Amino acid sequence: MTAIRENAPAKINLYLHVGPLRDDGLHDLASLFVFTEKGDDIVAEAHDALSLHIEGPFAGALAGHGAADNLVFRAGESLRARFGVAAGTRLRLVKNLPVAAGIGGGSADAAAALRALAKLWGLSLPAQELRALAFNLGADVPACLDGAPVFVDGAGEKLSPAPALPPVWLLLVNPGIEVPTGPVFQRFDADNPAPPPAAHPAGVEGRIDDVLQLMNASRNDLEPAAIRIAPEIGDLLQSMRAQPGCLAARMSGSGATCFAVFTDEAAAHAAGEYYKKMNRWAMVSPIASG
């Protein structure tokens, strides 16, 4: 059978409001996820065993980790166990996105693997059950299944479609450091022992016709904690906000990748080239409509 290829786009939290710690050890969140048109790639093809091969610019960052530690491989094992699939598959992950970067790379990769394997194996799974399986892999995986703007609540298991977004361009820049999620949340918990309930900013229920207004009415609650761990994030945000044409800039997820919002494509690309000349990883993409 022909190999199945699925894109695993970068995930961006336009905002991320973090609530109290739950009994299960996770936090209640309120976030708006959007996705780029570019990202990692997953290729699945029939093989005699389930295996994972990683290549691409950031493959080295995953070297030394066994396949069982990778969400892509675990996605394959979970789906195979759920349906009792005996067939093997060779999974190939082309890692174009930085690792531990706050842009959902591993989660998007796992979601893309689930989509690719379902097609390769001819499986049919109700959306709600697929989301539950995805959530067992990671809190962000369900929201990455469709690659379309989505409101996220709970710890990531509650999803609702987001309204149409105006055409905007995102510049993603990574300062060249890895910021694991765990320490950022630990710092947040230490600094916020009793955070208020997570809520979406008012007025987001209708069509979002002004992204700048949305950005001004929201925040990333993990940003201060991440900056305390990695001050380079704060320096990068200050620099991005000074770029011509930038409407707003913010850290995504738990960091360290930051994003800037542009309505002018040329200005976004010019800013991207500025950071590439500084040997920073940078990517420019419109928000994907899904």
Which CATH number does the domain housing residue 222 bear? 3.30.70.890
| Boundary-marking domain end, from 106, 133, 161 | 161
Measured CA to CA, the distance from residue 215 to residue 199 in angstroms comes to 14
Rounded to the nearest integer, the mean pLDDT of the chain is 93
Measured CA to CA, the distance from residue 55 to residue 107 in angstroms comes to 17
Is 184 found in the same domain as 151?
Answer: no
Average pLDDT of the residues in 97-116: 93
Is 243 found in the same domain as 212?
Answer: yes
Is 208 found in the same domain as 154?
Answer: no
| Boundary-marking domain end, from 135, 161, 187 | 161
CB count in 10 Å sphere of residue 244: 11
Is 20 found in the same domain as 107?
Answer: yes
Two tokens, residue 29: 């969140």
Is 64 found in the same domain as 35?
Answer: yes
Two tokens, residue 89: 């598959």
- Please tell me the pTM assigned to this model: 0.92
Q: How far, in Å, are 99, 151, 165, 248, 266 from residue 32 at the CA level?
A: 21, 5, 11, 16, 26
Residues whose CB falls within 8 Å of the CB of residue 84, separated by 6 or more in sequence, listed in order: none
> How do 51-55 and 88-94 pair as beta strands?
parallel
Q: How far, in Å, are 63, 104, 107, 217 from residue 110 at the CA level?
A: 18, 10, 5, 32
β-sheet bridge partners, residue 159: 152
Is 215 found in the same domain as 145?
Answer: no
pLDDT at 290: 67
Average pLDDT of the residues in 58-73: 86
pLDDT at 203: 74
| pLDDT one-digit tens code per residue, 236-286 | 999 999 999 999 999 999 999 999 999 999 999 999 999 999 999 999 999
Structural domain total, the chain = 2
Is 206 found in the same domain as 156?
Answer: no
| Boundary-marking domain end, from 117, 138, 161 | 161
Residue 135 belongs to domain spanning: 4-161
Is 244 found in the same domain as 122?
Answer: no
pLDDT at 207: 59
Is 277 found in the same domain as 155?
Answer: no
Is 195 found in the same domain as 118?
Answer: no
pLDDT at 2: 78
Q: Under a CB-based contact definition with an 8 Å cutoff, are residues 33 and 143 in contact?
A: yes
| pLDDT one-digit tens code per residue, 163-214 | 878 889 999 999 998 888 899 999 999 999 999 999 999 877 655 667 888 9
Catalytic residues: 11, 140
Is 280 found in the same domain as 263?
Answer: yes
Q: How far, in Å, are 144, 177, 184 from residue 100 at the CA level?
A: 16, 9, 12
Identity at 246, one-letter amino acid code: C
User: Is the pLDDT reported for residue 1 higher than 60?
Assistant: no
| pLDDT one-digit tens code per residue, 44-62 | 999 989 999 999 999 988 8
Is 193 found in the same domain as 125?
Answer: no
pLDDT at 128: 87
